[in-house]
Amino acid sequence: MLDICLLGTGGMMPTPNRFLTAMLARLNGRLLLIDCGEGTQVTMKLLGWGFKTIDVICFTHFHADHISGLPGMLLTIGNAGRTEPLTLIGPPGLQYIVEGLKRIAPELPFSLKYIELKQQNTIEISGFHISYILVEHMVRCYAYRIDVPRKGKFDLKRAEQLNIPKTIWSKLQKEGIAYYNDKEYTADMVMGKPRKGISVIYCTDSRPIDSLITFSKYADLLICEGMYGEEEKKQKAIEKKHMIFSEAARLAKQANVSRLWLTHFSPALLEPELYLQNAKQIFEQTELGEERKVISLYFTE
Amino acid sequence: MLDICLLGTGGMMPTPNRFLTAMLARLNGRLLLIDCGEGTQVTMKLLGWGFKTIDVICFTHFHADHISGLPGMLLTIGNAGRTEPLTLIGPPGLQYIVEGLKRIAPELPFSLKYIELKQQNTIEISGFHISYILVEHMVRCYAYRIDVPRKGKFDLKRAEQLNIPKTIWSKLQKEGIAYYNDKEYTADMVMGKPRKGISVIYCTDSRPIDSLITFSKYADLLICEGMYGEEEKKQKAIEKKHMIFSEAARLAKQANVSRLWLTHFSPALLEPELYLQNAKQIFEQTELGEERKVISLYFTE
């Protein structure tokens, strides 16, 4: 099971009614955070999943509304008792930016590990398989995909046919290799093809570029920006490199995702519900993001 | 009239129920802010005094809870349309710290002017007379005093006796010097001694050192930290270089201020009202700070 929480729904600046857009994922008690604007630690406190087990923080880009909460967050993670290293992932320049912000949090009880994104790759941390693509914004910006892969089925019949001793079945499934009486057994002997895992896409801020369709294909959940609801703001969205609701919905439809959550609303967009239909008529499984909206995603057959 | 708003009452970290401690002063529509933690721009938005006319931001020290909100605040001030320079005042190292934070707000429509505090001095900006003293905290930290001085009375009788032409009376009062038919007139000819002005002290974080008594003498309002309410936390306060309520009250009494507002409550201090009596039995005019508590201070005879 992968738990996902949308910590806030605001874009540009924090406001009294909205925390800034950020996503928290929880897998076996470990946490992955994407983006950390001013106030993200407050909405996390309200959520109650804790701070100590945050193993990785990913940044889409370095506009302040996506990273300004980092110094306070690092101090709060330290106050929660963390001593294990913490990994930060983001566009090139990450270390320079963070070292600037860390001037007001110079002493932490844990170390930071920096991963600056370059060529395509998948990073695995605490069971989260993190991949990313460059998207189209005013500055270098990435969308993230979080996968929890699922192994194939263990073929009981085949294991018996091959006389694999029962005592090593569990080890073989978990570790992919096991020994018994000096004989080696490997997973491919008894494990079926990997099954569909769980996948979540987090995309903000960007125009709805084609590569996002492939990247988001068949995801269980697409969390996507919808800076403006109104159709007539499309030109503004093009200029500012954002999306309107209907563009996010079209992306969700083309990528054939299971559901879409809209977020990163403009401070001027006071009633996003007025424009939800603009998205739903294109992609029915569209929902508006809300502060601390949570979903638990399960493996499905 | 000087309007004062305590923007938040929290210390250490922002929490769902308290914004971080900061003070906003308004004089003739111009604003002075002291401290700017994570979320200060949100409580300011709720207050509604605007952002564009912030002419100066003072920092007591560089612990994150007093400055982490600066990058977002600068961007919001820019979005409000400010193009005039903005002055930042703080301990030595200010420019280094702010330039680190500004890596996520590299482009602003106004310039920054830095004043790093050294020897005793008074700085005048937009009518605010700002003075400061070094206090006793874990890091270099300052308390601020904001004065609005008041000139003496214009001596009408004396002006008539001296045959000062009525047409220059107003100029003489405002500018201190005026000319009529090539003759020079100066304020000392007709102005009485300066009268009592308005003064506000903002002191957090510190131990209650003696120099604070002189510094705060006869202030209309002392905004002072009370990190802990309980008497038995005095030892902890000494170790962490903070104050308990009764220490702040004793300071207020010794300085003979008109009123005391307690603030900068520890996140663990959930019900400060339980300990208010510890302060009031020493200094009756003690009040608990509250989010966006406001007072208008007037000249008195």
Residues of chain A contacting B46 with CB distance shorter than 8 Å = 16
How confident is the model at residue A300, as a pLDDT? Answer: 87
Is the interface score ipTM higher than 0.85? yes
Q: Average pLDDT over chain A, rounded to whole?
A: 96
Token couple for B140: 């270099």
What is the pLDDT, as a whole number, of residue B173? 87
Q: How far is CA B31 from CA A18, B1, B2, B5, B44, in A?
A: 25, 13, 10, 11, 11
Q: Say which of A65, A147, A205, A220 is annotated catalytic.
A: A65
**CA distance linking residue B34 with residue B143, whole number of Å:** 10
CB-closest option in A39, A62, A100 to B101: A100
Is the Cβ of A17 closer than 8 Å to some Cβ of chain B?
A: no
Q: What is the pLDDT of residue B39?
A: 98
Angle at alpha carbon of residue B107, lines to B106 and B112, rounded to 5°: 85
A199: which 2 tokens?
């996948």
The answer, for B42 touching chain A at a CB cutoff of 8 Å, is yes
Distance CA B78, CA A26 (A): 37
Task: Choose the closest CB to B46 out of A16, A37, A72.
Answer: A16
Peptide bond into B205 cis (omega under 30): yes
Q: Does B63 touch chain A (CB under 8 A)?
A: yes
Query: What does the pLDDT read at residue A119?
Result: 78
A60 interaction partners in chain B (CB closer than 8 Å)? none
Using the predicted structure, report yes or no on whether residue A118 has a pLDDT greater than 90.
no
- DSSP per-residue string spanning A129-166: EEEEEE--SSS--EEEEEEEEE---B-HHHHHHTT--G
Question: In Å, how far are A218, B40, B234 from A132, measured between CA atoms?
Answer: 16, 33, 52
Mean pLDDT of A148-175: 91
pLDDT in tens, A23-67: 999 999 999 999 999 999 999 999 999 999 999 999 999 999 999
Pairs of CB atoms within 8 A across A/B: 97
Is A13 in contact with A34 (CB distance < 8 Å)? no
pLDDT, residue B301, reads: 73
CA of A72 vs chain B CAs: smallest distance (Å): 6
Q: Is A14 in contact with B63 (Cβ distance < 8 A)?
A: no
Quick one: CA torsion of A203, A206, A209, A213, rounded to 10 degrees? 10
pTM for the whole thing? 0.94
Query: What is the 8-class DSSP label of residue A35?
Result: -
Residues of chain B with pLDDT under 70: none
Predicted pLDDT at A83: 98
Q: Which residues of A touch B97 (CB under 8 A)?
A: 103-104
Query: Mean pLDDT, to the nearest integer, of A187-196?
Result: 90
